[in-house]
Amino acid sequence: MSTLSILDVQHLTKTYDTGAGKLTVLKDISFTLPAGSTCSILGPSGSGKTTLLGLCAGLDRPTSGSVLLNGITLGEEGEDERARIRNEHVGFVFQNFQLIPTLTALENVTVPMELRGDRGARQLGLDLLRRVGLAERVDHYPAQLSGGEQQRVALARAFINRPKVLFADEPTGNLDAETSSSVIEIMLELNRSAGTALVLVTHDSDVANLTERTVRLRNGEMV
Amino acid sequence: MAWRDSRSSRRRLLLFSISITLGIAALVSISSFRHSLSRAIDDQARGLIGADLVIESTRPFRPEDEELLHSLGEPQAREIRFATMASFPKSNGTRLTSVRALGGGFPFYGPMETVPAAAAREFRQGAQAIVEESLLLQFHAEVGDPIKIGESQFTIAGALKKMPGEASAAGSFAPRVYIPLQDLAATNLLKIGSIARYRAYVKFPENTDVESRIEMLGPQIKRLGLEFDTVAKRKRDLGTSLENLYRFLNLIGFISLLLGAVGVASAIQAHLQQKTRTGAILRCLGMSAAGTVLVYLVQTAAMGLFGAGFGAVLGVAMQRVFPRILMSFLPLAISTSIAWRPIVAGIFTGFSICILFALPPLLRFRRLSPLRVFRAAMEVESAPRGRDPVLWAVYALIVAGITGFSISQTDTLKHGLAFAAALFLAVGIFAGVAKLLIIGIRKFFPHGRSFVLRQGLANLYRPNNRTLLLTLSLGLGTFLLLNLYLTREVLLAQFSSVGTKNQPNIFFFDIQPDQKAGVAELVRASGMPVIQEAPIVTMRLAEVKGRRTTEILLDSQRKTPEWELEREYRTTYREQLTDTEKISAGHWIGRVDYHPDDKVPISLDADIAKDLGTKIGDELIFDVQGVPIKTTVASTRTVDWKRFQTNFFVLFPAGVLENAPTFHVLVSRVETPADSAKLQNAIVARFPNVSAIDLTSVIQTVDSILGKVALVIRVMSLFTVGAGLIVLASTIWSGRYQRLQESILLRTLGASRLQIWKILCAEYFLLGLFASLTGIVLAVGASWGLAKFVFKLGYAPSLWPLFVAAGAVSLLTVAVGLIASRGVGSAPPLEILRAEAE
């Protein structure tokens, strides 16, 4: 592993047992990502992009190979330990925003810190919502926000823990072109100012071109 | 379409349908039980009194009475029944019993059930007794052992299991002992003035038209001042009281059904929320609004039919429970069978209620915009509000349906409306409390507390919360059970509190004038105090303000209750009032110099005076065992009847009744059950005719009777609690998808499984706690109201049942909540990246 890499993926393979037999969705994937850099994972539907993102973020365990996140081998840790690692080192942004509908914008943003038992989250959450342009919407529920606003809340939530890596799964997939570019802009700006590495799953080669590196997948293999 | 659409949610829909199952089961089981009961009453009608006609008097039959009885033909049987002490020489135990000296072949219909069976026949030959089974058990006595009644000793011939027309609870206060009539005189118990009831049982010849015969005889019997009972009358009385019981139980069952229906409505709402996208897609593809609603209406109907059908099956199985728990109160044997009418009625009621309650969310669904298909999947659907006339019509129909059912289940329109109003008020109170709770939590939110607690608390007021529904279902169940418990406690407390404050707790009565000094001496010699002594003279009311009571009784316009005109007044005479009496009008006159035909200035209990329509100065004539005594109402008194001592409706001044046939009552206090038994044994050994009532055993009996009554209501309340828990489970299940999403998201963001479980625990615990607290507050309020306004008793509930209720309901909620949420905490977080499909 390079001393500067924040994510080191080596010979990663993931196979699922299905009723019809074994299904290999990722085959022998290897790449490294330096701290503070940006990377996109590009590929058609069903190429294994989301599975790769999930394995890199510690949401699942690989069948073989390894993922080192900030020097920690994720595959060796139990589920609760991986949850702690995610909480401390990882931020997420999803295509469908994944805000908790029963929490206000501010409450959604502060959840990761609250889970750690950190009581000073409120002010930080307010600052982040201000930075993403939602200072006036802190007490609104997700249903009361537009798609772009919800994604900006999700971004604020992703950055509240000052993560080492931000994983974004099709973050602009549900947004119009104008909102999409503003969301990507905010992500890149936060990447620059906070030094957070960015891993972006996308279909869009224009968005992929904005990142320093691109991992292309086809049928579960790097091409 | 409805069938295909239900593919992914059939299991969930089935679970929702169970919400109404218990309610239907309650209604079907009660109705089936009523059906079996009516059939049993018809089948065993003649056995209800064991004869065609029973004529009863509180004095020995006079020659004119005998003349009437003679005219009725044979066969006849005679019985004299009175309360007296029976003692068991082998175990040295004594107890107040109801002795029935029986002569003749009674019962003419239905068997006298004894163990051994032959004893019912053999004891009549003489010197033998049939003793209530529970009494034999209490004193470890067996067939062949001796039992002493008065001055005679009998051999126990058998244990009494059942007498036609009498429930086994009939012997609770004074267990029954049957002896042959010819042996009664030898007991030397019946003296002049002794309280006894004289009965003649008559059996008419086979082809007699009993109804018309009795119709002709009735006025004649009444004119002689006798009471009578017939099969038709007993059937009517029994039918009325059982109908009241049925209606009461049915209303509680109905509450369970309503709770279930509210649960179904809530589940349908959650189901429709998850079907928003499907509905919107169908609309986009050209399905009409009515068509979309119809898809889900068909699913609801299927769900309702399944729940109602399952409930009916459960109800049929459960109808066997009622005869068991009501056994000791029922004077007849009941066999249960399947009756279709209650089943069909139960299914129809449940199905209709289910559809009716599901209509509001279904009707809202018809306003679903096809545009919803373009909106995010996890968005919260907020129920559109507005002035939808169809929706309001459905609400009106629900109110009308509930009111209609309530009216059909009560004896009068007023009671039906009152029950429906009380139901709506209770729902309003629970809804109000839930609303206040939500506002209170938001206003006083504990921002400084842990995330887990705040998250749990916040879930109670967040969008799509089920706080109102669960407060209603869990709170109502808590309210019913606790109110029952607290009311029972209030009723029992009046005895126990008196017993502990150096107040009297044992009565000796039937003391003859020449035994008075001896009994008092024996009591004092045993180290017990003589707290009160009173002479008792029995008399009947003959005239009120110049009108004969027999004449008033025939007056259809009269307001005075029958029992006040017919009863035997046990009256005393003295110079002073006691501390339980207070003059409310007029003046108390404590002594008079009486000459025959003088009007005696008496004092009446204020309530009786009011019922009789008398005021100060009005005239009453009492028949004192054949001697008419004129009186005027000189004063009225308020009497504290709750005090365990001798209290009287009518009080004479000293100087009038001293020479009338009298017996005495002596009131004392014993410290322990052993002292009580010792004193009773000593008194009965020397004065066999003297009887005793021990407060401790009275409390035990009251407790046991209340316990049995409470059991019936508790079983019904459990239906409500059960329905509440099912509603809880199905409500949690209906919000499971959202929970699962939230939980996966929290896990993705770094929450441990323990944290997820803690949040769920906190939420369910707080929900259970708040719901139970609401129920507790209302139960305390209601039992206080019952104590103060209905029973007119003091109110000091013990606190521990309240804590137990709060703790039990909260923990039960947590348990049910966690069971319904199982799997939520351990779903793999990767799922969040997968399709967010339904």
Q: Which residues of A touch B (CB under 8 A)?
A: 50-51, 53-54, 59-60, 79-80, 83-88, 90, 92, 94, 96-103, 107, 111-112, 114-117, 119, 141-143, 147, 150, 157, 169, 174
Q: At B98, is the secondary structure helix, strand, or coil?
A: strand
Q: Tell me how far apart the alpha carbons of residues B601 and B598 are, in angstroms, rounded to a whole number.
A: 9
Domain total of chain A? 1
- Measure Cα distances from A190 to A37, A182, B299 in Å: 12, 12, 50
Which of the four pLDDT bands, split at 50, 70 and 90, describes residue B749?
confident
Percent of chain A with pLDDT over 70: 97
Q: Give the nearest partner residue to B750 out of A115, A142, A174, using CB atoms.
A: A115
The pLDDT assigned to B327 comes to 64
Closest CA to A185 of A136, A137, A148: A148
Which of the four pLDDT bands, split at 50, 70 and 90, describes residue A1?
very low
- Measure Cα distances from B636 to A100, B278, B570, B614 in Å: 73, 78, 17, 10
Cβ atoms of B467 and B434 within 8 Å: the answer is yes
CATH code of the domain containing A72: 3.40.50.300
Please list, in sequence order, all residues whose beta carbon lies within 8 angstroms of the beta carbon of residue A30, skipping any fewer than 6 positions away: A9, A10, A11, A12, A65, A222
| pLDDT above 60 (res B339) | yes
Q: What average pLDDT does range A197-220 have in this prediction? A: 89
Q: At A185, is the secondary structure helix, strand, or coil?
A: helix
| B384 interfacial to chain A (CB closer than 8 Å) | no
DSSP assignment of B472-530: HHHHHHHHHHHHHHHHHHHHHHHHHHHHHTT---EEEEEE-GGGHHHHHHHHHHTT--E
Q: Tell me how far apart the alpha carbons of residues B344 and B309 are, in angstroms, rounded to a whole number.
A: 9
CB pair distance less than 8 Å for A87 and B749: yes
Q: Give the nearest partner residue to A54 out of B451, B458, B830, using CB atoms.
A: B830
In degrees, rounded to 5, the angle at the alpha carbon of residue B401 between the alpha carbons of residues B400 and B403 is 65
Q: What average pLDDT does range A165-176 have in this prediction? A: 84
Residue A9 tokens read as: 């993926």
CB pair distance less than 8 Å for A143 and B463: yes
CB pair distance less than 8 Å for B376 and A54: no
Contacts of B455 in chain A (CB under 8 A): 114
Residue B723 tokens read as: 């329905």
CB pair distance less than 8 Å for A59 and B829: yes
Average pLDDT, chain B: 80
CB pair distance less than 8 Å for A142 and B379: yes
- Measure Cα distances from B350 to A58, B362, B647, B717 in Å: 51, 18, 52, 18
Cβ atoms of B663 and B533 within 8 Å: the answer is no
- Helix, strand, coil proportions of chain A in percent (round to 5)? 40, 30, 30
Chain pair A-B, CB pairs under 8 angstroms:
102
Of B249 and A215, the structure prediction assigns the larger pLDDT to A215
Which of the four pLDDT bands, split at 50, 70 and 90, describes residue B316?
confident
Q: Tell me how far apart the alpha carbons of residues B228 and B233 are, in angstroms, rounded to a whole number.
A: 9
Q: What average pLDDT does range B187-208 have in this prediction? A: 81
Please list, in sequence order, all residues whose beta carbon lies within 8 angstroms of the beta carbon of residue A187, skipping any fewer than 6 positions away: A93, A155, A166, A168, A171, A198, A200
CB pair distance less than 8 Å for B463 and A101: yes
Q: How many CA atoms lie within 13 A of B737 on its CB side?
A: 19
Q: What average pLDDT does range B708-727 have in this prediction? A: 71
Chain segment B398-423, per-residue pLDDT in tens: 888 888 888 877 767 887 888 788 87
Q: What average pLDDT does range B125-144 have in this prediction? A: 86
Contacts of B832 in chain A (CB under 8 A): 59, 94, 98
Peptide bond into B116 cis (omega under 30): yes
Cβ atoms of A175 and A187 within 8 Å: the answer is no
The pLDDT assigned to B378 comes to 39
Q: What average pLDDT does range B762-771 have in this prediction? A: 86
The pLDDT assigned to B333 comes to 66
| pLDDT above 90 (res A11) | yes
CB pair distance less than 8 Å for A101 and B749: no
| pLDDT above 50 (res B1) | yes
| B441 interfacial to chain A (CB closer than 8 Å) | no
Residue A60 tokens read as: 């699942």
Of B698 and B107, the structure prediction assigns the larger pLDDT to B107
- Partners of B114 in the β-ladder: B160
In degrees, rounded to 5, the angle at the alpha carbon of residue B488 between the alpha carbons of residues B482 and B494 is 135
Cβ atoms of A87 and A62 within 8 Å: the answer is no
Nearest chain A alpha carbon to B463: A102
Nearest chain A alpha carbon to B742: A100
Q: What average pLDDT does range B600-608 have in this prediction? A: 91
| pLDDT above 50 (res B381) | no
CB pair distance less than 8 Å for B376 and A97: yes
CB pair distance less than 8 Å for A54 and B379: no
Which of the four pLDDT bands, split at 50, 70 and 90, describes residue B500?
low
Q: Tell me how far apart the alpha carbons of residues B350 and B355 are, in angstroms, rounded to a whole number.
A: 9
Sign of the alpha-carbon torsion through B242, B246, B247, B252: positive
| B380 interfacial to chain A (CB closer than 8 Å) | yes
Q: Give the nearest partner residue to B382 out of A99, A115, A143, using CB atoms.
A: A143
CB pair distance less than 8 Å for A142 and B463: no
Strand duo A90-93 + A165-169: pairing? parallel
Residue B830, min C-alpha distance to chain A (Å):
5
Question: Residue B543 is inside which H or E element, if any?
Answer: strand B530-544
Q: Which of A16-25, B63-72, B326-335 has the lowest mean pLDDT?
A: B326-335
Q: What average pLDDT does range B547-561 have in this prediction? A: 81
Of A193 and B372, the structure prediction assigns the larger pLDDT to A193
Which of the four pLDDT bands, split at 50, 70 and 90, describes residue B837?
very low
Contacts of B751 in chain A (CB under 8 A): 83, 87, 115
Closest CA to B265 of B394, B425, B385: B394
Cβ atoms of B674 and B618 within 8 Å: the answer is no
The domain of A178 spans 5-222
The pLDDT assigned to A95 comes to 81
The pLDDT assigned to B47 comes to 75
Q: Tell me how far apart the alpha carbons of residues A48 and A30 are, in angstroms, rounded to a whole number.
A: 14
| pLDDT above 90 (res B652) | yes
Q: Where are the domains of chain B?
A: 1-52+204-444, 53-203, 447-501+696-838, 530-668
CB pair distance less than 8 Å for A101 and B738: yes
Q: Which residue in B379, B763, B826 has the most chain A C-beta atoms within 10 A of its own C-beta, making it the best mutation to test that interface?
A: B379
| pLDDT above 80 (res B258) | no
The pLDDT assigned to B621 comes to 93
Question: ipTM of this model?
Answer: 0.74
Helices (H), B119-230: 119-122, 133-138, 184-187, 210-223
| pLDDT above 80 (res B45) | no
Amino acid at A4: L
The pLDDT assigned to B420 comes to 83
Which of the four pLDDT bands, split at 50, 70 and 90, describes residue B376?
very low
Sign of the alpha-carbon torsion through B183, B186, B190, B192: positive
Contacts of B756 in chain A (CB under 8 A): none
Q: At B711, is the secondary structure helix, strand, or coil?
A: helix
Question: Residue A214 is inside which H or E element, if any?
Answer: strand A213-218
Q: Tell me how far apart the alpha carbons of residues B188 and B497 are, in angstroms, rounded to a whole number.
A: 38
